């Protein structure tokens, strides 16, 4: 610190002071690092979430396709059941394979 006399008892004190920065450099770097880390983490989460959406869409599409296939099979099997239950088919099998005949009226109890 130096004192310089300007006149009439007025002094100028010249001193160069180094002021501390408002935020230390290490804290600023740490804050920037944390900010970049959070941005990268959010970006990776967004990519992962998009992948999950795509996979779920494929699963839904596959399930709908399987549902349509099963519905078609159900329709075919329903038609087959109606065909197998038809009275004319049952009568034909009873007469040819089982050897059944119509009952005689004498054997019918009223």
**CA-to-CA separations, 95 to 72, 78, 98, in angstroms, rounded:** 34, 26, 6
- pTM over 0.85, yes/no: no
3-state SS, residue 88: helix
The tokens for 56 are 């779920």
Residue 13: per-residue pLDDT: 65
Q: CB–CB of 3/12 below 8 Å? A: yes
Q: List pLDDT tens digits, range 81-109.
A: 999 999 999 999 999 999 998 878 877 77
Bridge partners of 11? 5
Bridge partners of 4? 12
Over 90: is that where the pLDDT of 9 sits? no
Over 70: is that where the pLDDT of 62 sits? yes
Residue 105: per-residue pLDDT: 80
Average pLDDT of the residues of the chain = 86
């Amino acid at each position: 610190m130096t004192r310089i006399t300007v006149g009439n008892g007025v002094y100028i004190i010249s001193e160069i002071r180094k002021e501390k920065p408002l935020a230390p450099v290490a804290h600023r770097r740490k804050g920037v690092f944390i900010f970049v880390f959070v941005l990268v983490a959010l970006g990776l989460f967004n990519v992962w979430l998009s992948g999950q959406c795509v996979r779920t869409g494929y699963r839904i599409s596959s399930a709908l396709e399987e549902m349509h296939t099963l519905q078609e099979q159900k329709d075919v099997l329903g038609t087959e059941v109606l065909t197998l239950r038809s009275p004319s088919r049952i009568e034909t099998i009873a007469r040819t394979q089982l050897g059944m005949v119509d009952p005689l009226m004498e054997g019918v109890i009223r």
